[in-house]
Amino acid sequence: MMRGSRLIALLTDFGWRDPFAGVMKGVIAGIAPRARVIDLCHDIEPHEIDQARFLLRSSVPYFPKGTIFVCVVDPGVGSARRALCVESGSRIFIGPDNGLFTEMLAETGARAREITNPRLRLPSVSQTFHGRDVFAPAAAHLASGVPPSRLGKLVRDPVRLPPLDPVRTGRRFWSGRVAHIDRFGNLITNLPAAEFLPPAVRGAAVKAGFQTITRVCRSYAEAPEGELFLIAGSSGAIEISLRQSSAAKKLGVAVGAPVDLEIW
C-alpha cells in the first residue's frame, strides 16, 4: 500500500528564515513532480529531537496510509550516524538515525533500512545538508514508486531513545516535561490529560517554573483572564495556558523544562 505514495510531509528544525525547507521541496519536485508536499512543521527548536518525536507522534494518526514523512532534526549531520528509512504502520519515515523514530520503531512489524543507494541521492552529498542531498531525494523516489528495499539493507540496531512518557515518582506524583510550546505560548506537556485530569482524577496540580497550577478549564474561553490554568489540549496532553496571553512568557520556561504533577 505504501508503494507509489504521492504524499510527503516535512518536519524539520530549519525554520523559515533560510531557504532550506524550500530547497528540499524543490528537490522533491524535480524527482517526483506529481507528489504532494505538506509542511507539517519547520519550527522545531534547533536540535530538539524529543520535541520532534512528540509532534510526530501526535500528528501521524491524522495522515493517510502511505504518507512519507521526511523528518530532519539532525545535530549529527556529517558524522557517522546513519540515514534511515523506517516502514511502520503503513507509513514511511525518512531521516537521521538518532532516535527520532523511536516510537515508529516500536510498532509491530516495523522495519528500518539504511539509505545507502547512491542512485537515490543527489550526485553530490554535502556534509551539512542531508535533508536536501539524501532525505528529500529518497522520499521523492519512493513517491515515484521505487520500493523501500532499493534504498539499502535492513538495520537491526537503529537508535532508540527513552520513552517520552512521564515518570512516576510517588503514589500520587509524576515528573514530566514541556514537550512543545505552540505559537500562542501554551505549554504542551507530556502528561496525558485522559489519565491526569478530571474526571479521571478528583484534582491535579502541575508545577512549572516557580508556580503551581490547579485550576482546570474545559476551554480557553472559560478561563478567567490573567490566571494560569490546565486544559486538555488537542494532542491529548495537559496544556498550561493563559487566556489570550503566553503562559511560556509568564512562567519563563522553554521546551524541555521540567513539570511536576500531583493528583488526588
Per-residue pLDDT of 119-143, as tens digits, reads 999 999 999 999 999 999 999 999 9
Tell me if 28 sits within 8 A of 37, measured CB to CB: yes
Domains detected in the chain: 7-150 (3.40.50.10790), 167-263 (2.40.30.90)
Distances (CA, A) of 225 to 126, 180, 208: 51, 23, 19
Q: Look at residue 6 in the predicted model and tell me its pLDDT.
A: 85
Question: Residue range 3-30: average pLDDT?
Answer: 92
- pLDDT value of residue 163: 95
2, pLDDT greater than 80: no
Average pLDDT taken over every residue of the chain: 96
Q: Tell me phi and psi for residue 157, to 5 degrees.
A: -130, 50
Q: Indicate whether 3 pLDDT > 90.
A: no
- Per-residue pLDDT tens for 183-223? 999 999 999 999 999 999 999 999 999 999 999 999 999 99
Whether the per-residue pLDDT at 1 is higher than 90: the answer is: no
Cell of 158: 537503529
5 — pLDDT class (breaks 50, 70, 90): low
User: Does residue 149 have a pLDDT over 90?
Assistant: yes
Whether omega before 19 lies within 30 degrees of 0, making that bond cis, reads no
Distance between CA 163 and CA 121 in Å, rounded? 32
Nearest to 206 by CA among 183, 186, 182: 186
In the predicted structure, residue 235 carries a pLDDT above the cut 60: yes
DSSP codes of every residue in 87-109: EETTEEEEEESSSTTHHHHTSTT
Average pLDDT over residues 94-111: 97
Pairing of strands 7-12, 36-41: parallel
pLDDT digit string, tens, across residues 37-72:
999 999 999 999 999 999 999 999 999 999 999 999
The pLDDT of residue 89 is above 50:
yes
Rounded to 5°, the CA angle 91-96-97 comes to 90
Label residue 107 by pLDDT band (50, 70, 90).
very high
